[in-house]
Structure 1
Amino acid sequence: MIRARKVLVTTLAVMLAATTTAGAATTSSRPGQGRFDQPQHGFAPASTTLREGGPGDVGLDQRPIRDAEQFLRSWTQPDTSGHPHFSGAVGLLAHHGVVVDRYAVGGALRYADAKGTELPPAQQVPMRDDTIFDLASISKLFTSIAALQLTEQGKLDVNAPVVRYLPEFGVQGKQDVTIEQLLTHTSGFDADPSPSLWEGYADIPSRRKAVLDSPLKNPPGTTYLYSDLNMLTLGFVIEKLTGKPLDTVVHDRITAPLGMVDTGYNPPVSKLNRIAATEYESNPPRGLVRGQVHDENAWSLGGVAGHAGVFSTASDLATLCQAILNGGSYRGHRILRPDTVEKMLTNYNARFPGDAHGLGFELDQPWYMGALSSSASAGHTGFTGTTLVIDPDSRSFALLLTNRVHPTRGWGSINAARQVWATSLAKAMAVRPVVGKDEWYADPGDSTTATLSTPPLDARSGSLQASFHAFVDTEGPNDPFQLEASTDGVNWQPVPLRATGPGAPAGTVWSLSGHGHRAWWHVSATVPAPSAMTLRWRYTTDSNYTGRGISLDGVKVTERGRTVLDGERNPGELSSSGWRLSTR
């Protein structure tokens, strides 16, 4: 199934407005812990194991997280459409080895039919921390890990053509498609099998043959196009090389070593009471799907496929995430070498901007990673409403599992919720002032402008020098942060800026933007001032993702060494609209 990609989000971002320090957690002495502006380097110690705790245990502010919980709760309630965005959800957030939040809301089983008729309360099943979800395309991560394990054993070469392992694959011009191209969705395949496996073929052998016979839409390596056919094919490669079914390989080599007891394909009937229901299907005529894979193509293959079929819980996925943060090991059980995990987190798709992809993980996707997104962030989503985001820079991860297709896939996108949940963890981390005890912070939400203005400033020499520190985490060029000048307070002109610091733009620029830098920049500007001049810092957002926001500190305006304005000593001289003073 094709996932909704990069859907514009216009709803409820204000629920995650950043908070001041009243009641904020104290900062741990552990380097980088609780800090968004102190990115980590390398993997966490392999001995790191997850423990339960609260936000304050690792220096986090709990209020963005609590706001996100309320956001999720509101999305389980009917809105103006007459139905909720999803039946229920389980969220989990972790930072530096501590599970700082678990949240379950809504129903695992709620509806009786595709129209959304609610079951009697006694027949409904609430979400719980241990609810088991159909992960949909997050299953692709397990296929990728299994494949990379074979590369470590010397049995699989990612640079080799697929036909080396599956000679029957080499039809329809596919002889040059490589294993790497399957892993990075650059093979040239169309998005899905056509016709669908379940409706076009009589049995499993003919469906498997249909996958191998599928033609290419584009020449190999020329285009990024997310396709289930890539991982279906890779699953067949794994089975050929191991001589075992894919579900056995995943169990023996991944889930069993990691102790993921609720993770696997075709969950047993004994666990049905814990499984979240998915769609009520009439075509094919499956009725209410619960305990069987939702994806029809995977279902037609017996529930085990390279692209879908894995069921799991938030706790089990947390173990997998921490194993990745640890460099491939958890509780003494290694599933991948650190250098192999690096390959999963390294962008192989630089020639396709916006579609960064490692050998398995998607990378740097703000549309669902929110403010955790950076060039290092990794994750995946699933059509059923599942989301996994790993942020190595803060040694954190965010899991949001929903059954958004229950009772129908037609109730719309949940990308806003995905963003909000991941962003809550980013906003819970501190960005500490560079100078003094506080900083100016703006997080205006979508389609909004925030301004911070000086009074009219007089330059005797005809020019002013402005300097300040800026921490910039925005969507990108569509959300510019600018310094502007005006002689009448009505007409404003941008002022050229020079920024220095990790990730800062080179040379002179007219605005600052970008995400994932996680560093303060020092910014300077020369402002021609033939008469009294007013300056303002403006941050304007479009209708989509906004990032963590802008922090501004150490504002100073001078004229030939004479201080004209010192925003640090006299913050009251600055007029704010959408900015506020914060200590984190």
Structure 2
Amino acid sequence: MTTSGFCVDEFGGVRTELANQLASGEELGAAVCVTVDGETVVDLWGGHRDPERTVPWTEDTLVNVFSISKTMTALCALLLVDRGELDVRQRVAHYWPEFAANGKGDIEIRHILGHTSGVSGWERPIELADIYDTEAASARLATQSPWWTPGTASGYHALNYGHLVGEVIRRITGRGLGQFFAEELAGPLDADFHIGTGPEHHHRIAPLVPPPRLHFDMASLDQTSILVKTLTSPLLDLPEANSAAWRRAEIGAVNGHGNARSVARIQSLVSCGGALGGRRLLSEKTIDLIFEQQSDGPDLALLVPLRFGLGYGLPQPQTAPAVPGGRVCWWAGLGGAIVVNDLDHRITFAYTMNKMAPGLIGSPRADAYLRAVYTAVRAGARA
């Protein structure tokens, strides 16, 4: 199957890989983008938006990228750090006094940015629709006790990351996360990415196609475990992620909508050391904060080895074998979307798709594209 867009000759292997994945049916619709020094060298898309393969994936197709959204939320916080309005070592309650309730008074900003706060989900009962009311859902988090000793381990803040970080942003700026992101990042960088996607964009969104259901009985697990409480409080209903209500909500952990081009555009701010297009938005000192390791070991919510810095995962060969080592930060969305920022090579790689792969982190398809990118990088280094 042919792909659309462009690709410089050195990265031709990426085009070949995408064409092969589309032709095999492993992909339904997808986009891949690579920037070097902030300049686009790969911007490819292909396939279809719908399972019936009647609507082509086009240049401006959007898709829910799930947890890539967390990297956008983290960048919003880092902008405030850079402006001196937010201190990652300050207590969350300094900005959000109600958060100090029930033993959370010593939790620091770095703990919520790095998934070590002990508040990785909501206390039951809670339904998915309840978290669409961002302020009310955030207020519920403020009343809770931590589920483990803050700062001692990561427990992936799967659905509530944007509520925690976003409420701090709202307390500082008076703006909700979606508005702040649009005005301070997406707008200035001319990036077609949205946290809280208005109905005027819904016709461009490719519906997600869930992976085959795993025959796994969650009820057989310890219902008080951090894994069960995090992943079921509330339970993510994948068909609901195609609803208009989900798309409009501001869920900064999981419902950002964009495409590979817009993800790469915004995130190349990181791979380029905080400056893009001749404009510096983040200092090198602030970029360095991303790489301050907050945890390294089995994540209490996902039960896989993870290394977290501030707002991003750091290279972890066991969990993400295709993500290279070095001064690299990354994260993946449920179903396989991924972004990788490589500051050693000043490269950002982004991949988005609508046919979801099974598993919580990454996918064989994402790995294949990433390996094709680094085959080209290594060949260029030898030349």
CA 428–285 in structure 1, closer or farther in 2 if over 3 Å, else same: closer
Taking only aligned residues, the RMSD between alpha carbons, in angstroms, comes to 3.4
Q: Deviations over 1:314-349 (max 9, x none)?
A: 222222232222221222333212211121234333
Cα distance in 2 for residues equivalent to 1:318 and 1:285 = 27
Whether 1:176 aligns to 2:106 is yes
CA 360–130 in structure 1, closer or farther in 2 if over 3 Å, else same: same
Cα distance in 1 for residues equivalent to 2:349 and 2:132 = 41
Contact 1:247 1:304 in 2 (8 A): yes
Alpha-carbon distance, 1:252 to partner: 1.4
CA 368–322 in structure 1, closer or farther in 2 if over 3 Å, else same: farther
Identity score, percent: 23
Of 41, 58, 72 in structure 2, the residue corresponding to residue 100 of structure 1 is 41
- Paired amino acid for 2:155: L
Alpha-carbon distance, 1:218 to partner: 0.9
CA 106–307 in structure 1, closer or farther in 2 if over 3 Å, else same: same
Cα distance in 2 for residues equivalent to 1:109 and 1:74 = 16
- The aligned residue for residue 230 of structure 2 is none
- Paired amino acid for 1:253: E
Cα distance in 2 for residues equivalent to 1:214 and 1:322 = 36
CA 339–287 in structure 1, closer or farther in 2 if over 3 Å, else same: closer
Cα distance in 1 for residues equivalent to 2:29 and 2:94 = 45
TM-score (normalizing by structure 1): 0.53
Give the greater-gyration-radius structure (CA): 1
Cα distance in 1 for residues equivalent to 2:236 and 2:41 = 41
> Number of matched residues?
349
CA 412–330 in structure 1, closer or farther in 2 if over 3 Å, else same: closer
Q: Deviations over 1:469-495 (max 9, x none)?
A: xxxxxxxxxxxxxxxxxxxxxxxxxxx
Q: Deviations over 1:429-487 (max 9, x none)?
A: 3369xxxxxxxxxxxxxxxxxxxxxxxxxxxxxxxxxxxxxxxxxxxxxxxxxxxxxxx
Whether 1:251 aligns to 2:182 is yes
Contact 1:328 1:334 in 2 (8 A): yes
Please give the residue correspondences for 1:479-494 in structure 2 after superposition, counting only pairs within 5 Å. none
Q: Deviations over 1:78-137 (max 9, x none)?
A: xxxxxxx55321112334555333332322122xxxxxxx3xx5xx32212321121221
Of 353, 357, 378 in structure 2, the residue corresponding to residue 430 of structure 1 is 378
Q: Deviations over 1:20-69 (max 9, x none)?
A: xxxxxxxxxxxxxxxxxxxxxxxxxxxxxxxx75133xxx5x3x434422
Structure (1 or 2) with the greater strand fraction: 1
CA 342–241 in structure 1, closer or farther in 2 if over 3 Å, else same: same
Contact 1:370 1:422 in 2 (8 A): no
- The aligned residue for residue 91 of structure 2 is 161
Contact 2:328 2:340 in 1 (8 A): yes
Contact 2:335 2:359 in 1 (8 A): no
Alpha-carbon distance, 1:174 to partner: 1.4
- Paired amino acid for 1:429: V
Contact 2:134 2:250 in 1 (8 A): no
Deviates more, 1:149-158 or 1:248-257: 149-158
Alpha-carbon distance, 1:74 to partner: 4.8
Cα distance in 1 for residues equivalent to 2:350 and 2:170 = 29
Alpha-carbon distance, 1:189 to partner: 2.5
Whether 1:270 aligns to 2:221 is no
CA 245–230 in structure 1, closer or farther in 2 if over 3 Å, else same: closer
Cα distance in 1 for residues equivalent to 2:352 and 2:19 = 16
Whether 1:136 aligns to 2:66 is yes
Please give the residue correspondences for 1:195-234 in structure 2 after superposition, counting only pairs within 5 Å. 195-198=125-128, 206-228=136-158, 229-234=160-165
Alpha-carbon distance, 1:202 to partner: 10
Q: Per the alignment, in what secondary structure is the counterpart of residue 339 of structure 2?
A: strand
Cα distance in 1 for residues equivalent to 2:23 and 2:242 = 24
- The aligned residue for residue 13 of structure 1 is none
Q: Deviations over 1:4-23 (max 9, x none)?
A: xxxxxxxxxxxxxxxxxxxx
Alpha-carbon distance, 1:149 to partner: 1.9
Q: Per the alignment, in what secondary structure is the counterpart of residue 187 of structure 2?
A: helix
Structure (1 or 2) with the greater helix fraction: 2
Contact 1:94 1:396 in 2 (8 A): yes
Cα distance in 2 for residues equivalent to 1:421 and 1:334 = 30
Alpha-carbon distance, 1:381 to partner: 1.2
In structure 1, runs of 5+ residues without a counterpart are 1-51, 78-84, 111-117, 433-517, 519-582
CA 131–216 in structure 1, closer or farther in 2 if over 3 Å, else same: same
Whether 1:242 aligns to 2:176 is no
Whether 1:147 aligns to 2:95 is no
Cα distance in 2 for residues equivalent to 1:140 and 1:412 = 15
Cα distance in 2 for residues equivalent to 1:333 and 1:202 = 35
Cα distance in 1 for residues equivalent to 2:308 and 2:291 = 8
- Paired amino acid for 2:377: M
Contact 2:107 2:150 in 1 (8 A): yes
Whether 1:316 aligns to 2:267 is no
Cα distance in 2 for residues equivalent to 1:273 and 1:367 = 39
Higher relative contact order, structure no. (Cα contacts within 8 Å, ≥ 6 residues apart): 2
Cα distance in 1 for residues equivalent to 2:176 and 2:104 = 24
- The aligned residue for residue 115 of structure 2 is 185
